[in-house]
Amino acid sequence: MRDNWKKLLLFVAVFLAAYFLPVHHHRVQSAILDAFVMLNDYAQKHVLFCLVPAFFIAGAIAVFVSQASVLKYFGAQASKWLAYSVASVSGTILAVCSCTVLPLFAGIYTRGAGIGPATAFLYSGPAINVLAIILTARVLGVELGIGRAVGAVIFAVVIGLLMSLFFGREERERLDDIAVGEEADGRPLWLNGLYFLTMVLILIFAAWAKPATPHGFWAAVYRIHWYPTLALLIVLALMLRAWFTRDELKAWTGSTWEFTAQILPLLFGGVLAAGLLLGMPGTDHGLIPSEHVEGLVGGNSIRANFFASIVGAFMYFATLTEVPILQGLMGSGMGKGPALALLLAGPALSLPNMLVIRSVMGTRKTAVFVALVVIMATLTGIVFGWLTA
């Protein structure tokens, strides 16, 4: 009965929104158009070369990585030093965006990882993107580049420890309910390691972002990134043919589909909502005018840092787009403190990201995770603004 009331309220809310929506107003029209332009941009730049490899990796984790192994390195009884060290610097290796890290997070969390190391990994994956940090230092200044790198590592560890502290009892019950299984097959560990390394490298090269300048190491790799991607795909095909049975491959693709069906619709819905409210990054086409945002992030007040953290947390940033957006905002008077707050909250969170996290670990844990990111970004922005004043 309660579910029926929820559905009824949802139907009524959608009906009222559709009935009273001022579709003839130019801002509403531009916001609707921008929502679909943003979805189109997202589909073209992220689904095939970021999300698809990530879904296959998540499916492989669920099938070929034993729960005993996950619990050994990321479980409640694992060495905290090892678990948080690996989780907090994972982004330097993966260099993924907030949407791409979601299937990987879901894979290790459902397989038995503790909420502390899992959320540390969830935050660090997109936050400690080496290319983004270098670009931040070059475009926005060395101070912001260093602040972003150091703050992201510290955030990952602190957020993970606090999540473990707040939900320790629930996590013990959850992990007790997970039956610890054996390895799925008799392959040596090094063969499975090569298999996962090949897929991670495919993800890295396929999703290699175009740098802002046409020169340097990052640009050189971008010009040739499809060649190693193709070579790695051939290597992966040979591995699958030689090392895996038909039943294993069927289980892998089935697990991959489960993650895809769970995550992709929520991401698409979240991208549409973010585009409708805030418009494409760098434009003023959303329902919320950009001058309102710019007017609230000047200086280094608590309000400015908190607002920058909130906007960063809910707004969707494609990989590296946060740097030119911040460049424009800082040119309009945004302070260095709010700029760092947005850099620490933005790449790791977004409205689509929150919807998916909620489906994996529930509303309460997601709310606490988001609140921790926003609060810590706000406090860090205030301190950084004071130090660089």
DSSP 8-state class, residue 318: -
Tell me, what's the pLDDT at 327?
A: 65
d(CA 225, CA 235): 16
User: In the chain, what are the helix, strand and coil shares in percent, each to the nearest 5?
Assistant: 80, 0, 20
Q: Where are the domains positioned within the chain?
A: 29-387
DSSP 8-state class, residue 335: -
d(CA 112, CA 66): 9
Tell me, what's the pLDDT at 227?
A: 93
Tell me, what's the pLDDT at 324?
A: 60
Q: Which residues contact 214 (CB under 8 A, 6 or more apart)?
A: none
Contact present, 135 and 102 (Cβ < 8 Å):
no
Task: Kindly list the distances between the CA atom of residue 95 and the CA atoms of 130, 209, 222, 342, in Å, as whole numbers in the listed order.
Answer: 7, 10, 14, 19
- pTM to 2 decimal places: 0.65
What are the tokens at 281? 């990054």
Q: Give the DSSP letter string of 28-65.
A: HHHHHHHHHHHHHHHIIIIIIIIIHHHHHHHHHHHHHS
Residues of the chain with pLDDT under 70: 1-3, 65-72, 75-78, 90-100, 129-132, 134-135, 139, 175-187, 212, 267, 270, 274, 278, 281-282, 284, 290-294, 318-321, 324, 327-329, 331-333
d(CA 198, CA 311): 36
d(CA 138, CA 46): 25
∠ Cα 66 71 83 (to 5°)? 125
Q: What are the φ and ψ backbone dihedral angles of 249, each rounded to 5 degrees? A: -65, -35
pLDDT tens digits, one per residue of 185-237:
456 777 888 888 898 888 888 878 777 677 778 888 888 989 999 999 999 99
SS3 210: coil
SS3 334: strand
Q: Which amino acid is at 117?
A: P
Contact present, 55 and 61 (Cβ < 8 Å):
no
SS3 298: strand
